[in-house]
Amino acid sequence: MTALLEIQNVDTYYGPIHILQGLTLRIEPGELVCLLGGNASGKSTTLKTVLGIVTPRTGSVVFDGEDVTRRSTSYRIGKGMAIVPENRRLFAPMTVLENLEMGAYLHGGGKKEDFDRVYELFPLLYERRSQLAGTLSGGEQQMVAMGRALMSKPKLLLMDEPSMGLAPILVERSFEIIKQVHESGVAMLIVEQNANVSLSIADRGYVLSTGRLVLEGAAASLREDEDLRKAYLGR
Amino acid sequence: MDTFIQLTIDALTLGSVYALIALGYTLVYGVLKLLNFAHGDVFMVGTFIGYGVLQLLGGAESPNVPVWALIPIITVAAMAGCAILGVVIERFAYRPLRDAPRIAPLISALGVSFFLANSMQLLFGATPRTYNAFDLGNGELYFKGFDIGNVRVPLLRIITIGSAFVLMIALYLLVNKTRTGKAMRATSYDREAAAMMGIDIDKVIRFTFILGSALAGAAGVMFALRVPTTAAIGFVAGLKGFTAAVIGGIGSIPGAMAGGLILGFAESYTQGYISTKWSDLVVFSILIAFMIFRPQGLLGRADIRKV
């Protein structure tokens, strides 16, 4: 089976600072992979490298059979990536509907079936469609952010810290939705600090530390790993 | 009463020109957070493009095209010319500085402003150029029109105010209803998030410059139909447009429209009821008052930053 996403030996720099150091990572079609690590471990930079917001100095990013290392973000999204950014980053002064339209920007602003699909997953968004996104509660905003990313029918959904800033009950609800989306066949790369929750739903996991991969494997075995438990699971 | 009506018509004419200029400031500020101080000079170039095309078509006295088509033709020409100029300015003066500290593009903008004003002066001299709109169809634009009380509202004024409002409504619809317009709003709220949606930021910025500069071109023709133009008018016009944008709340489109009209009214009534010498004083006093009591402007949103 060919991988959906394959990052090969990537080195990414911010100016003189070496962030990702020889990172190699792959995601199979339909797989849910989580990327764990503490602060400044390079998790967000990995997502930015996948999306093409930063370009690696060496190494390659292959998505859906094509080398996209030098391609623009816009190209990659057109090819089937989507992201739920850290802190959701909704367009607060725009309506829920307009936010969803922006998610399908490269697909002409969204077809009726795309809206239907998202509204089916989040019926609340249909009720709130004319409301300004900035006036919604945190949990509702999370739904908009996920709905917005799903509008383009992505093959690979990237999620940057989906649990951040959410009450525990909402974290649980979020991950239920993530599971549900995953079960519909969307591959996902989830970047998380909350290792416990994300490993519970992931197929596989990678652990980053200061820009290097320190651990990888099936989610179940990572949950049992002594070092990881000490570092992230707190028990 | 007649004076009041007359001044109100003047206010609307002046105000709609200011509003169109202010829109260019506010649009560009929205997506780039840049005060495009070259904008007034784009407006000035617009007055000259209109003048040049008018001469090419035979001038106001004996035009080669029907009178009713003349004003639309020169307006569209000025809009197109300014749009191209705007794109060129963005590409060469601002894009290379996109990630530089904010002061750098600001200095670049001032440089472009001086460059345009001085090169136009070099090319066309300092003699004021007039459209001689009075000669169009033997004064038709001035004599025809309708009356409010004893005051004649000349056709030229109706055309100016009318087309300014049409342009503003068109812009409002474009920004709020079209996909590109929504992408502009998204980009102006959060550029990075917009890029993550697949929106091509360069394209959005270029489009914004096209819109803003085209509006300045239209404003240039409306202005120069009434007042002779020189290469030096860009500075003051830009300053007034900027003031209008700040009063309305920079970044806000309805704000720029409101700010322009407020400025028009303030200027016109001051000139009529107090003294012509006082008009700039009043205008900039309003600006200072806003800066002190409502720095986010009439319709702007206060800048809340995440820390």
In a mutagenesis test of the B interface, which of A96, A102, A130, A160 is the best target, namely the one with the most B β-carbons within 10 Å?
A102
- Give a yes or no: residue B285 inside a domain: no
**Gap from B204 CA to chain A (nearest CA, Å):** 12
Range in A144-153, A207-216, A220-229, B168-177 with the lowest mean pLDDT: A220-229
Domain regions of chain A by residue span: 1-80+194-235
Considering CB atoms only, which of B185, B189, B196 is closest to A73? Answer: B196
B232 touches chain A (CB under 8 A): no
Give me the pLDDT at residue A171, please: 86
ipTM of the complex, rounded to two decimals = 0.90
pLDDT of residue B304: 54
The confidence score (pLDDT) of residue B307 equals 43
Instruction: Name the residue with higher pLDDT: A232 or B62.
Output: B62
Domain count, chain B: 1
Residues of A whose CB is below 8 A from B302: none
Low-confidence ranges of chain B (pLDDT < 70): 302-307
Whether the pLDDT of residue A234 is over 80: the answer is no
The CATH code for residues A1-80+194-235 is 3.40.50.300
pLDDT, position B141: 80
Residue B63 has a pLDDT of 84
- Whether residue B152 lies inside any domain: the answer is yes
Question: Which residues span the domain enclosing B170?
Answer: 12-232
3-state secondary structure of B275: coil
Please report where in the chains the tokens 């199979």 appear, as a residue.
A28
Kindly determine whether residue B198 and residue A73, on different chains, have CB atoms separated by under 8 Å.
yes
pLDDT at residue A231 in the model: 66
Whether B243 maps to a domain, the answer reads no
- Spell out which residues of chain B touch residue A102, defining contact as CB-CB under 8 Å: 182-183, 186, 194, 197, 199
pTM: 0.90
Per-residue pLDDT reduced to its tens digit, A17-26: 999 999 999 9
pLDDT of residue B148: 85
**In which band, very low, low, confident or very high, does the pLDDT at A233 lie, cut at 50, 70 and 90?**
low
Write down the pLDDT at residue A235. 44
What is the spatial distance between Cα B242 and Cα B263, in angstroms, rounded to a whole number? 11
| pLDDT, greater one: A38 or B205 | B205
Q: What are B201-224's pLDDT values in tens digits?
A: 999 999 999 999 999 999 999 999
Q: Across the interface, do A94 and B179 touch by the CB < 8 Å criterion?
A: no
Q: Measured between alpha carbons, how far is A205 from A219 in angstroms, rounded to an integer?
A: 5
| Angle between the N-to-C axes of helices B179-189 and B201-224, in degrees from 0 to 180, rounded to the nearest 10 | 100
- Residue A29 above 60 pLDDT? yes
The answer as to whether B67 is a domain residue is yes
B305 touches chain A (CB under 8 A): no
Cβ–Cβ below 8 Å for A94 and B182: yes
| pLDDT, position B68 | 83
Cα A92 from Cα A94, distance rounded (Å): 5
Closest CA in chain A for residue B186:
A91
Q: In this structure, is residue B276 part of a structural domain?
A: no
Give the per-residue pLDDT at A232.
Answer: 63
